[in-house]
Structure 1
Amino acid sequence: MNRLTKRYAAAMVLAISLVTVPLAGQVKAVESPAAAGASNADGQRVSILYFNDGHEIAPVTDKLGTRGGAARIKTLVDSVQDEKIVAFGGDLGGGTLFGGVFKGFPMVEAFHHIPVDVANFGQHDFDAGVDNALDLIQASRFQWISSNLVGSDGKPFGQVPDHVVIEKQGIRVGIIGLTSAMETTVRDERVKQLPVIEAAKQAVQKLESQQPDVIIALTQEPSAKDKALLAAVPEIHAVFTEEEAEEQSFVHEVDQGRRFVFSPQGNMGSIIRLIVEKDAAGGIRLSHDILKADETVAEDPALAKLAAEYQAKLDQELGKTVATMKQELLYGENHESRFKETAIGNWIADAYRDYYGTDLAFANGGGIRASAKQGEFTLKDAKAILPFGNKIVVAEVDGEMVLQALENGVSGVDRMAGAFLQVSGISYVYDADQPVGQRVSDVMVGGAPIRKDAVYTLALSNFMYTGGDNYTMFTDAKTKVGAGEARTDFELLAAYASKQKTVDVQSEGRITVKGFADVGDRHWAKEAVRRLASEGIMQGVSEGRFAPNAAVTPAELYEVVTAGMPEAADAVWWTEVGFDRNEKSASVTREQLAAVAARLLEVKTAKPVLSVAGETGFSDEGEINPALKPAVAGLAEYGLLKGRPGRNFAPKEAATRAELSYVLWNIMKE
């Protein structure tokens, strides 16, 4: 997932990873702290090793580097010499392409090798359905627990215990498991989520009769809720929770450092190690460390081989057909998805909105990197279209935020910026000729004008939600489905395609473009292009696109010139210039454009323009056709003709549509 800077900006990451503190409640404090690596000759010691977010059996490689992988987790677990309890926090199925294809079973197999002792459920463990979750439980040799998930009979889901007590080295560790965000996975009456805090209180009450030395909670919820859990249930000494970010681990101190909330890196990027020590007098002390599963950690050979085998199977699965495309959906040879509505953009945004049932959905055009070909559509195709694997989150936003987002999306259309929004559940008009911040109008949601004070649910990538591409307007939005609970973009697209079976998508007027997105306020020919277009003299090549750098054909030049200056239609000099006015495949050269422009200027001003001397002043004037050199020299003297860098004229290069518009407009206004 992408960095959750908005949600966790206030979180304090401890720079010192070895901190020893007395436990809260009835646990006896000690006078002097012990370092995590020190021996405890007079008492007992056990390490609790925790990791979560196990969607991928192999290491993940992205812009943050390489991290995770079951083989590295195994190496780190083996490196800890203490007696240990290995706990997994949830999400070993769903959430990614690998998890969606194999539904968690490779991770269960890998966890047997590590080995894992106890596991909590994440909501993604139900993405493939309740039956699959039950099969995962049956396949596991480690113990699943849940304190707040129950079946339709009101008993713990899958008949797993609501708590366990594990004793190592005479230290009794009580463990409970708590899961939230079940509304973001498959709905099924056979699994229900009970309120987290109330369920935790009941589980802890049962635990206390077994006299644990330490009580920990494995949770799947945001750290802010974990802090509320600690405030409501003081008997819990530490919470091991879901990932807050891919690039770092978090340690939050509570009650002046007497209790903790631990959050490891996503994609099994680290292990949180909690060292519990008990002295001869029964006093308990805690210290903690973070073990990073990065590229410096050697992979366990047996698990590395297992991961490679499953990756090979995944490659085979990627080629399986999930739907049939009725027609090709182009993402845009000219980057159309970055400045106008496209059918593929509609399809992607619809996939997000359909999965979460939101009012609106946004998909940034820059994230669309391939077309969907006609015919068979595979998982590999979905990944090629959306290669970044962004998480699609859900937020409650007001209409003003939506309007600001739309304005931001069209602010860089002249640069074909990736921020441009493909949309679902909403339509809008934008005028590329207007100033940035004032381009969007006629915004409709559900067939009615948008209201600035209305609240809408919005599905979008976590990249945008946390400020990427300058989408900073969501700071005060309310998160409904965060990155920890969300599914990836290509996974949602593949699921939507599979649901549709036959995909038939068209552009349907969600976005209307006025003006030319590729001729912005900073373009040197903007005035000429806009004036000629407004008078109907020169048209764009498609909606929102003028193609200023495209070459001009003789037929196009004749059509444009005679539209702007009808008096030139039957001029005898057309033949003298040396090209066929009906030619639609060849390109007009810059020296030919100069020859036409010189004659037009003479028509307009009734004054001679062709230079008798024929000296152009350009460094490459020797390359100019001698018959056309007087026209080039005359226009240069007149100030209407400019060269290229290095005082070159480049006479044989193709004249562009922008150059034609600039020359013609300046002649017409003489």
Structure 2
Amino acid sequence: MSKLRRSAAAALLSASLMTPLWSYAPNVQAAESDRMVSFLYFNDGHEISPVSDKLGTRGGVARIKTLVDSVQGEKIVAFGGDLGGGTLFGGVFKGFPMVEAFNQIPIDLANFGQHDFDAGAENTKKLVEASKFSWISSNLTGSDGKPFGQVPEYAVIEKQGIRIGVIGLTSAMETTTKDGSVQQRDVIESAKKAVEQIKQQKVDIIMALTQEPVADDKALMAAVPDIQVIFTEEEAEEQTFIHEVEAGNKFIFAPQGNMGSIVHLRLNKAQDGVKLSHEILKADETVAEEEALAKLAADYQTKLDTELGKKVAVLANDLPYGDNHESRFRETAIGNLIADAYRDYYHTDIAFANGGGIRASAKKGDFTLKDAKAILPFGNKIVVAEVTGEMLLAALENSVAGVDRLPGGFLQVSGLTYVYDANKPVGSRIVEASINRQPIQKDAKYKVAMSSFMYTGGDNYTMFTDAKAIVGANEALTDFELLAAYASKLKTVDAKPEARITVRGYADVPASHWAQPAIKALTDKAILTSIDEGRFAPQASVTRREAGAAISKLLPEASASSVWTGSGLGTGDESAALSREELAVVIRWLYEMKTGKPLQGAASTAFADDAQIAGGFKPAVAALVQAGLVEGRSTGQFAPKEKATRAEFAHLLAKIPS
């Protein structure tokens, strides 16, 4: 198999870029019943060793090798993208250990992810050169308009008499290093072009390797109906998602992040076409690690520890990144430290640090180079530009435009304070913005330290196009170096929030949220409270303690504890989450107590899952439905056993007459 890849790669050097990646026909025609090929797909290869966290242990190249070897018969092994950048390991080694490992698995085919460009396009080209497998891209080009890195635009692979066409598509290139040497073409138009070329090869099936959200994959499949299978990027770290399209005739596969699983798609050739079946191979702790690649991974981990184990400072306190990505919607101590590091080194008026670039926490005690690199793994160059106040205000508006989605472009700041209101429309959320306690003047000029990624338009920071560069990327230091140098200068780091950023409203409950009016009304009256600054957590479960406290404020004659005895739910664990059917009972009781009017309910409801509602709860659910207070969660379903959310609780409380 490796000889096939090497000969194919050699042929590519002299072949036109418009030709298929390779075409292989066996010498002996297989029997119809034996014409089966396995297509194995995984992606998100940031870490060479298994990842261990609160979700368990998963991934690692040695486990991937074991799983690939376990699949018998003819097979094609494909990687979906992101083997460099994004983590400490990727930031230090820039993807080369992963290429070395993939050469040994071996894989046959790879698509680009945006993180494969985090160390710059020239580094990506070197990764391609080091690969014994082949890369494809249908929509990434160089500045000359030709396919990036001279890789083919598609592949046509024939095994067992089955001809398979594969395209590669990458989006979100605005979120990686931008140096002008790689361009992202329109995904759908590029796909149409590549598919038309593939169809001339008389293939049996066309598939796509993509790096884009599943919603975009569905739009792609609708726009280019010849695509029957899409292998895409991860939707979650903890599970694989399989989306069936057109009643199961088409599929979109999204395996676990960090190489947590392999999608095994079987293609069987029959007289009426190619039949598909699939299974998911989980790369968890039950899978033995292949010895050679386990050693390779261990050797690289040793190199990483040796290189980065040097102590540079002492932390007086923990520096949490935050379980809820706080650096992406409010001020954090770690964000302040990073922005201060940039501003201190360059002596600028202000400094910006992208919240999405902060990827790890640091514990109190010794602070090492490894800690600094883990916090800032991308290795972005920090440049200095002279910008106008108008540009700054536009940048701040962009920073808070999507806080409900926890955007990577949310700005941690130094030398600047600002207030934003998440309840206001996008584009007018900045309420105040000051430098040295003076409002930002639109015509004034300020020196700003920021990442080259941001300066060149990443995360939609296009307002700096005409800003004058004072320190360019070629002479700038990296974010990691500046953080380590600043910590070393301080010797003891005691970073804290300092009211640089003030949040009004809730970042996770924008004006467009369905329960926003109810949440705002109840929190303004202090009937409900936030989880922490800037966050209401509308999807979090509501507990008996929270519900009892809120209801007792609406019904002063009732204590928090008497709410449960009065409603008939009895005493229980105060930290327990309320189910939706329990919520119906207590809301019915509250309504009757507030109005003095009984709410009559039938013995059953019209919900399709009525049988799942406990008998004693059905009258309450039916009564609330009849009164127009309650609706189902989805068409025809009440979901009685599901946990009630804080948003649902707020929505119902707001309907109770005062």
Percent identical among aligned pairs is: 56
Counterparts of 1:67-86 in structure 2, within 5 Å, are none
| TM-fit CA distance, 1:328 | 0.6
2:656 alignment partner in structure 1: 667
Q: Does the 8 Å CA contact 1:64/1:247 hold for their aligned counterparts?
A: no
Counterparts of 1:348-427 in structure 2, within 5 Å, are 348-427=338-417
3-state SS, counterpart of residue 463 of structure 2? coil
CA spacing shift, 1:366–1:588, aligned 2, 3 Å: same
Q: Does the 8 Å CA contact 1:555/1:582 hold for their aligned counterparts?
A: no
Mapped to 1, the partners of 2:577 and 2:476 lie a distance apart of 52
Counterparts of 1:556-595 in structure 2, within 5 Å, are 556-567=546-557, 569=559, 574-575=564-565, 577-579=567-569, 583-595=573-585
- Structure 2 residue 635 is matched with structure 1 residue 642: no
Mapped to 2, the partners of 1:502 and 1:649 lie a distance apart of 55
CA spacing shift, 1:573–1:419, aligned 2, 3 Å: closer
1:486 alignment partner in structure 2: 476
Q: Which amino acid aligns with 2:644?
A: A
| TM-fit CA distance, 1:59 | 7.0
Mapped to 2, the partners of 1:58 and 1:547 lie a distance apart of 37
2:507 alignment partner in structure 1: 517
Mapped to 2, the partners of 1:377 and 1:571 lie a distance apart of 47
1:436 alignment partner in structure 2: 426
CA spacing shift, 1:621–1:322, aligned 2, 3 Å: same
CA spacing shift, 1:466–1:246, aligned 2, 3 Å: closer
Counterparts of 1:46-85 in structure 2, within 5 Å, are 63-64=116-117
Q: Does the 8 Å CA contact 1:409/1:421 hold for their aligned counterparts?
A: yes
Q: Does the 8 Å CA contact 1:365/1:422 hold for their aligned counterparts?
A: yes
- Structure 2 residue 494 is matched with structure 1 residue 504: yes
Mapped to 2, the partners of 1:635 and 1:327 lie a distance apart of 50
3-state SS, counterpart of residue 582 of structure 2? helix
1:615 to 588, 601, 604: 604
Give the alignment's TM-score, normalised by structure 1. Answer: 0.54
| TM-fit CA distance, 1:660 | 0.8
Cα deviation code 1:447-467 (max 9, x no counterpart): 322221111000111111111
Q: Does the 8 Å CA contact 1:602/1:609 hold for their aligned counterparts?
A: yes
1:601 to 591, 597, 605: 591
3-state SS, counterpart of residue 521 of structure 2? helix
Which is worse superposed, 565-574 or 501-510?
Answer: 565-574
Quick check: which has more Rg, 1 or 2?
1
3-state SS, counterpart of residue 616 of structure 2? coil
CA spacing shift, 1:552–1:508, aligned 2, 3 Å: same
The runs of at least 4 aligned residues of structure 1 exceeding 6 Å deviation read 56-59, 65-69, 308-312, 570-573
1:657 to 626, 646, 656: 646
Mapped to 1, the partners of 2:299 and 2:640 lie a distance apart of 61
Cα deviation code 1:441-488 (max 9, x no counterpart): 232212322221111000111111111111111122111111122111
Mapped to 1, the partners of 2:92 and 2:600 lie a distance apart of 75
Mapped to 1, the partners of 2:424 and 2:501 lie a distance apart of 16
| TM-fit CA distance, 1:499 | 1.5
| TM-fit CA distance, 1:580 | 5.3
Counterparts of 1:325-364 in structure 2, within 5 Å, are 325-364=315-354
2:310 to 295, 315, 320: 320
Q: Does the 8 Å CA contact 1:396/1:477 hold for their aligned counterparts?
A: yes
CA spacing shift, 1:580–1:320, aligned 2, 3 Å: farther
1:138 alignment partner in structure 2: none
2:179 to 241, 245, 248: 245
- Structure 2 residue 541 is matched with structure 1 residue 551: yes
Mapped to 2, the partners of 1:595 and 1:610 lie a distance apart of 12
CA spacing shift, 1:544–1:581, aligned 2, 3 Å: farther
Q: Does the 8 Å CA contact 1:326/1:502 hold for their aligned counterparts?
A: yes
Q: Does the 8 Å CA contact 1:399/1:452 hold for their aligned counterparts?
A: yes
Q: Does the 8 Å CA contact 1:393/1:462 hold for their aligned counterparts?
A: yes
1:633 alignment partner in structure 2: 622
| TM-fit CA distance, 1:330 | 0.7
1:475 alignment partner in structure 2: 465
Mapped to 2, the partners of 1:311 and 1:653 lie a distance apart of 43
Mapped to 2, the partners of 1:569 and 1:310 lie a distance apart of 61
| TM-fit CA distance, 1:556 | 1.3
Cα deviation code 1:387-436 (max 9, x no counterpart): 11111111001111111111111111111112211000001111111221
Cα deviation code 1:356-381 (max 9, x no counterpart): 11110001111111111111111111
Q: Does the 8 Å CA contact 1:602/1:608 hold for their aligned counterparts?
A: yes
Give the alignment's TM-score, normalised by structure 2. Answer: 0.55
Q: Does the 8 Å CA contact 2:433/2:440 hold for their aligned counterparts?
A: yes
Q: Does the 8 Å CA contact 1:614/1:634 hold for their aligned counterparts?
A: no
| TM-fit CA distance, 1:64 | 3.1
Which is worse superposed, 447-456 or 458-467?
Answer: 447-456
| TM-fit CA distance, 1:603 | 3.1
Structure 1 unaligned regions, length at least 5: 1-55, 77-242, 250-307
| TM-fit CA distance, 1:610 | 3.1
Cα deviation code 1:587-610 (max 9, x no counterpart): 111111100111222234433313
CA spacing shift, 1:72–1:573, aligned 2, 3 Å: closer
1:44 alignment partner in structure 2: none
Q: Does the 8 Å CA contact 1:329/1:372 hold for their aligned counterparts?
A: yes
Q: Does the 8 Å CA contact 1:554/1:581 hold for their aligned counterparts?
A: no
- How many pairs are equivalent? 387
Q: Does the 8 Å CA contact 2:548/2:560 hold for their aligned counterparts?
A: no
1:284 alignment partner in structure 2: none
| TM-fit CA distance, 1:584 | 2.8
| TM-fit CA distance, 1:519 | 0.5
Relative contact order (alpha carbons < 8 A, sep ≥ 6): 1 or 2 greater? 1
Mapped to 1, the partners of 2:385 and 2:615 lie a distance apart of 67
Mapped to 2, the partners of 1:664 and 1:336 lie a distance apart of 28
Mapped to 2, the partners of 1:466 and 1:248 lie a distance apart of 13
Q: Does the 8 Å CA contact 1:550/1:657 hold for their aligned counterparts?
A: yes
2:445 alignment partner in structure 1: 455
3-state SS, counterpart of residue 653 of structure 1? coil
Mapped to 1, the partners of 2:417 and 2:550 lie a distance apart of 34
Mapped to 2, the partners of 1:574 and 1:316 lie a distance apart of 59
Mapped to 2, the partners of 1:63 and 1:570 lie a distance apart of 55
1:42 alignment partner in structure 2: none
Mapped to 2, the partners of 1:311 and 1:528 lie a distance apart of 51
CA spacing shift, 1:480–1:618, aligned 2, 3 Å: same
Mapped to 1, the partners of 2:549 and 2:472 lie a distance apart of 56
| TM-fit CA distance, 1:571 | 11
Q: Does the 8 Å CA contact 2:551/2:563 hold for their aligned counterparts?
A: no
Mapped to 1, the partners of 2:540 and 2:322 lie a distance apart of 16
Cα deviation code 1:43-71 (max 9, x no counterpart): xxxxxxxxxxxxx99876551399868x9
Q: Does the 8 Å CA contact 2:118/2:378 hold for their aligned counterparts?
A: no
| TM-fit CA distance, 1:581 | 6.3
1:179 alignment partner in structure 2: none
Q: Does the 8 Å CA contact 2:178/2:458 hold for their aligned counterparts?
A: no
Structure 2 unaligned regions, length at least 5: 1-90, 97-114, 131-176, 184-297
Q: Which amino acid aligns with 1:373?
A: K
Mapped to 2, the partners of 1:545 and 1:430 lie a distance apart of 13
